[in-house]
């Protein structure tokens, strides 16, 4: 799948129909990384992960090694896996939990060993019924195989893994909301500080929360060594990454590509990747990194897929999703749909987010429906300013979590890039595209 | 004493789940899924028993459950059809598909058909955007859905041809965990004991004079 000759780190087994089984996993080098890790000291494993600059694959891109090093020493601490993948157009963890659950389980045990925690929870998005079944099966098999549970592979190290289903709430992807949810409560993000669950997390104990894809890298890193991983990508963005490509492309899907050495153009147009835009249409805009990310236009298509490179250009790699919009797309409708999503998923704790998302959604809808007013663009930006003062990037926050400050991204992008299209909607009384 | 609403088998599974967590309340969502597996939705009787199992009030169970889209505190159809309309699916015809689904099933989004067979929902991103537009039926995925394939799917569901693939609403995970925790550290055991003591304390207090015995506090 990669267009550079980078090895497949995360998707090496996807050619097999039985990629989710223990038999296939063992026949393809499975649990070798764990055996290697258990022969090292926990500190050496953590140092190895710190050395490769494994940036978190969930959305924030925080280095996993640094996150681990912040874990407060305490008698009880936890590892929690964030598998609540819900960022719009992000569907790579969905693939990993369904198609290679043992790779995740092995990653969890390696991380648990490095952190010396004895209980790990894998929180899987509730809607992933098959994924939950596959991960549960993998955990059962891993216990039987001696890779989870007491005295793993005779090393003396023990850890339990509990698979926990979510129940449908985008906000539970926010790590402190996820912990609340795991405690059996409404998924309300916690007030910061403390900024990191590494200080105060699950049940008030120190907790590391890592994304599914982040941990799924660990078996390969331990098996092949830090140098092999670091040789891929450039700068801080090392290794490969899964990109979920969606929208107006010939071949939507999840692609594993080498970071930085691959560009958005490669991803969208390469025949082995996106295959270009259908119907001979042109690229109008694309959204990197999920619904929370500012949009890019054709002039940014040659940017490399690197965290710092995309950040410097005013957006983010975020959750690794890329939504492509062709030149027939109504950007008002696109911005409206994303805003509607935030309105529905706002947890309701903070006024700017709870109220602002609804107002923005209604204004965008009336513009799309032909009831727009000339003052509406200013009003949209004014409300956006209350959510994220200055409407800059990265956004300023007025709410407990970043959901609220993310809402203006699509609106501000659409107005900045396609102001005339909004004005036509308002002047002509509706969407010219019908 | 009222009769138990959750069956002995469900109760046994519920206790196994509670035992997996340092604090019983963590089992709340899994137990709500389990109750939905029995009843198709989250009945008040089930919530009262879940409350007892995890040591909180029925109101707290309801207050938590209503936060989550998958937990239904009102009756739903045998099949909950969730059509994703978020950005990736919208760009590939999701709203046209949803319109078709309304006409085809003869119900509005957010409602259940008169025969109780289908509940139609407009869902947020279901994370299957490689096969947009996509939908779920009782959280089983169907991708690249066209109006024609939608009608075929509805017919198959009605005729029971997909019973092995799509269980009735509420059945989420058909794989059971083998066995409980194996490790249980000292700290974990201590936390458990403290929680158990706190629950026992609350139970003793609420059994005091004038307390309503066991039923949900307050009116409906």
CB B85 within 8 A of CB B134: no
Q: Tell me, what's the pLDDT at B195?
A: 72
Q: Which residues of B38-68 are buried (b: 16+ CB within 10 A; e: fewer)?
A: bbbbbbebbbbbbbebbbbbbebbbebbebb
The secondary element (H helix, E strand) that includes residue B53 is: helix B44-54
Q: Does A162 reach chain B within 8 Å, measured CB to CB?
A: yes
The β-bridge partners of A209 are A80
Q: What is the pTM of this model?
A: 0.95
Q: Which of B22, B26, B174 sits opposite A133 (nearest CB)?
A: B174
* CATH class assigned to A22-229: alpha beta
Across the range A343-360, mean pLDDT stands at: 98
Question: What pLDDT score was predicted for residue B138?
Answer: 98
Which residues in chain A are contacts of B141 at CB distance < 8 A? 130
Alpha-carbon gap, residue A361 to A329, rounded angstroms: 18
Neighbours of B207 (CB within 10 A): 10
A127 to chain B, any CB pair closer than 8 A? The answer is yes
pLDDT in the model for residue B216: 39
CA distance B211 to chain A (A): 26
> To the nearest 10°, the Cα dihedral for A271, A273, A274, A275?
10
pLDDT of residue B218: 38
The interface residues of chain A toward chain B in range 344-363, judged by CB-CB distance below 8 A, are 344-345, 347
More confident residue, B186 or A422: A422
CA distance A180 to A203: 9
Rounded average pLDDT over A208-215? 98
- The confidence score (pLDDT) of residue B2 equals 62
- Kindly give the confidence (pLDDT) of every residue in chain B, 220 residues in length, as a single tens digit, with 9 standing for 90 and above: 468 999 999 999 999 999 999 999 999 999 999 999 999 999 999 999 999 999 999 999 999 999 999 999 999 999 999 999 999 999 999 999 999 999 999 999 999 999 999 999 999 999 999 999 999 999 999 999 999 999 999 999 999 999 999 999 999 999 999 999 999 766 667 777 777 777 777 677 766 554 444 343 333 3
CA distance A312 to A120: 36
Residue ranges of the domains in chain B?
8-72+174-206, 79-158
* Domain ranges within chain A, ordered by starting residue: 22-229, 232-326, 331-428
Q: Do domains B8-72+174-206 and B79-158 have the same CATH topology?
A: no
Does residue A162 sit in helix, strand or coil? strand
The CATH-assigned architecture of domain A331-428 is Up-down Bundle (1.20)
Residue B204: per-residue pLDDT: 79
Per CB-CB distance under 8 Å, the chain A contacts of B71 are: 167-168
Residue B96: Cβ within 10 Å count: 13
Mean pLDDT of A270-295: 97
For residue B169, count CB atoms less than 10 angstroms from its CB and return exposed for 0-12, middle for 13-18, buried for 19 or more.
buried
Rounded Cα distance, A345 and A293, in Å = 16
pLDDT at A166 over 90: yes
Q: Given strand A119-124, what is the order of strands in its sheet?
A: A160-165, A119-124, A78-83, A207-211
B8-72+174-206 under CATH 3.50.50.60, yes or no: no
- The angle at the Cα of B177, spanning B176 to B181, to the nearest 5 degrees, equals 160
List pLDDT tens digits, range A18-36: 999 999 999 999 999 999 9
Among positive and negative, which fits the CA dihedral A291, A294, A296, A297?
A: positive
Domain A232-326 class? alpha beta
Distance CA A265, CA B17 (A): 48
Read off the pLDDT of each residue in A362-371 and give the average, rounded to a whole number: 97
The encoded tokens of residue B24 equal 């019983």
- C-alpha to C-alpha distance for A305 and A258, rounded to whole angstroms: 8
What is the pLDDT of chain A when averaged over all its residues? 96
* A–B interface: beta-carbon pairs under 8 A: 193
Helix A351-368 and helix A376-387: axis angle, to 10°? 160
Q: Which CATH superfamily is domain B79-158 in?
A: Glutaredoxin (3.40.30.10)
What's residue B197's pLDDT?
Answer: 79
Query: Residue A107: is its pLDDT beyond 70?
Result: yes
Contact B215, B2 (CB under 8 A): yes
CA–CA separation, B22 vs B31, rounded Å? 15
Residues A292 and A339 sit within 8 Å (Cβ to Cβ): no
ipTM of the complex: 0.96
Min mean pLDDT across A215-219, A340-344, B181-185 is at B181-185
Residue A411 dihedral angles phi and psi, to the nearest 5°:
-65, -50
Check if the beta carbon of residue A157 is closer than 8 Å to that of residue A198: no
- Per-residue pLDDT of A222-266, as tens digits, reads 999 999 999 999 999 999 999 999 999 999 999 999 999 999 999
Indicate if A331-428 has the same CATH topology as A22-229.
no
Please state, in angstroms and rounded to a whole number, the distance separating the CA atoms of residues A339 and A364: 8
Residue B100, C-beta contacts closer than 8 angstroms, at least 6 positions apart? B147, B150
């Amino acid at each position: 799948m990669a267009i550079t000759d980078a090895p497949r780190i995360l998707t090496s087994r996807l050619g097999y129909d039985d990629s989710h089984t223990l038999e296939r996993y063992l026949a393809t080098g499975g649990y070798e990384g764990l055996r290697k890790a258990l022969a090292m000291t926990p500190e050496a494993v953590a140092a190895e992960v710190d050395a490769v600059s494994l940036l978190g694959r969930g959305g924030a891109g925080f280095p996993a090694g640094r996150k681990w090093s912040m874990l407060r020493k305490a008698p009880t601490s936890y590892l929690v896996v964030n598998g609540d993948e819900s960022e719009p157009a992000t569907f790579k963890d969905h693939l990993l939990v369904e198609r290679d659950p043992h790779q995740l389980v092995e990653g969890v045990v390696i991380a648990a060993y490095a952190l010396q925690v004895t209980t790990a929870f894998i929180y899987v998005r509730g809607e992933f019924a098959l994924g939950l079944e596959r991960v549960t099966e993998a955990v059962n098999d891993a216990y039987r195989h001696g890779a989870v549970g007491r005295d793993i592979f005779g090393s003396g190290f023990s850890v339990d893994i509990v698979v926990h289903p979510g129940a449908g709430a985008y906000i539970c992807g926010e790590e402190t909301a996820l912990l609340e949810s795991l405690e059996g409560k409404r998924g309300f993000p916690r007030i910061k500080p403390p900024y990191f669950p590494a200080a105060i997390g699950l049940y008030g104990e120190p907790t590391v929360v890592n994304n599914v894809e982040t941990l799924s890298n660990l078996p390969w890193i331990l098996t092949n060594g830090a140098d092999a991983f670091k040789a891929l990508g450039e700068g801080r963005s090392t290794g490969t990454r899964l990109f979920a490509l969606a929208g107006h492309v010939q071949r939507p899907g999840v692609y594993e590509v080498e970071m930085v050495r691959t560009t958005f153009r490669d991803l969208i147009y390469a025949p082995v990747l996106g295959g270009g835009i259908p119907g001979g249409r042109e690229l109008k805009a694309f959204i990197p990194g999920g619904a929370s990310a500012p949009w890019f236009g054709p002039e940014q298509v040659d940017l490399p897929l690197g965290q710092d490179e995309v950040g410097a250009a005013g957006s983010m790699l975020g959750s690794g999703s890329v939504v492509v919009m062709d030149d027939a797309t109504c950007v008002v409708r696109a911005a409206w749909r994303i805003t509607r999503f935030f309105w529905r998923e706002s947890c309701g704790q903070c006024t700017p987010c709870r109220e602002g998302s609804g107002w923005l959604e209604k204004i965008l809808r009336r513009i799309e429906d032909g009831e727009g007013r000339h003052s509406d663009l200013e009003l949209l930006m004014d409300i956006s300013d209350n959510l994220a003062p200055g409407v800059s990037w990265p956004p300023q926050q007025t709410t407990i979590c970043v959901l609220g400050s993310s809402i203006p991204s699509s609106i501000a992008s659409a107005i900045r890039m396609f102001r005339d299209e909004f004005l036509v909607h308002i002047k002509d009384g509706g969407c010219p595209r019908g | 004493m009222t009769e138990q609403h959750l069956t002995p088998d469900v109760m046994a599974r519920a206790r196994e789940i509670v035992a997996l967590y340092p604090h019983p309340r963590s089992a709340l969502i899994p137990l709500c899924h389990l109750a939905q597996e029995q009843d198709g939705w989250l009945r008040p009787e089930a919530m009262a028993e879940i409350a007892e199992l995890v040591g909180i009030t029925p109101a707290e169970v309801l207050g938590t459950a209503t936060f989550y889209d998958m937990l239904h505190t009102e009756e739903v159809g045998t099949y909950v059809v969730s059509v994703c309309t978020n950005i990736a699916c919208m760009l590939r015809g999701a709203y046209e598909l949803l319109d078709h689904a309304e006409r085809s099933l003869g119900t509005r989004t957010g409602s259940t058909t008169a025969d109780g067979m289908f509940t139609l929902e407009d869902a947020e991103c279901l994370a299957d955007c490689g096969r947009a537009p996509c939908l779920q039926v009782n959280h089983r995925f169907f991708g690249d859905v066209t109006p024609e394939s939608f009608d075929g799917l509805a017919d198959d569901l009605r005729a029971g041809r997909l019973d092995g693939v799509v269980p009735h609403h509420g059945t989420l995970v058909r794989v059971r965990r083998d066995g409980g925790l194996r490790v249980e550290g000292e700290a974990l055991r201590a936390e458990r004991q403290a929680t158990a003591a706190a629950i026992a304390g609350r139970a003793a207090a609420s059994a005091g004079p004038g307390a309503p015995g066991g039923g949900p506090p307050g009116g409906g």
